[in-house]
Amino acid sequence: MIARGIGAALVLASVLLYEPGAVTVLQRLLLPLLFGVGAALVLRNVLAVAATGAVLAALHADLAGDWISAAAYPLIGTACAAVAAVILGRRYRNYVRATRADRAAARAARQERSGP
């Protein structure tokens, strides 16, 4: 519960301090990152925050722009996409493993009922 409160405070502070169109590193990079950390603490769903971060970073990336748009946003987007891919890959492997175990149990039950 304390983590959610801290996350809500980070989100609120980020929203109140954010100025669209600002050029400082704090406004363009640090506050959005704090917002993402706060959202992760509030939602407790890293996959949702990572997927959203990847999409937003991709939308704001500009390879011909300054260092934040040309380097920081693509790096953040790549990291978020990698986190999302790892989480989805683990979920998929667990699903396949559980499906195989269910099929093996059903097969054993059928063989046991049919008898030798």
pLDDT digits (tens, 9 = 90+) for 50-86: 999 999 999 989 999 999 999 999 999 999 999 999 9
pTM of the predicted protein model: 0.80
Q: What is the reported pLDDT for 115?
A: 66
A 10 A CB-CB count for 37 gives 16
62: left (phi over 0), alpha (psi -120 to 50) or beta: beta
pLDDT of 92 strictly over 70? yes
Cα–Cα distance list, 10 to 4, 13, 42, 47 (Å): 10, 5, 10, 19
Output the CA angle 86-15-64, nearest 5 degrees. 65
pLDDT of 22 strictly over 90? no
pLDDT of 10 strictly over 80? yes
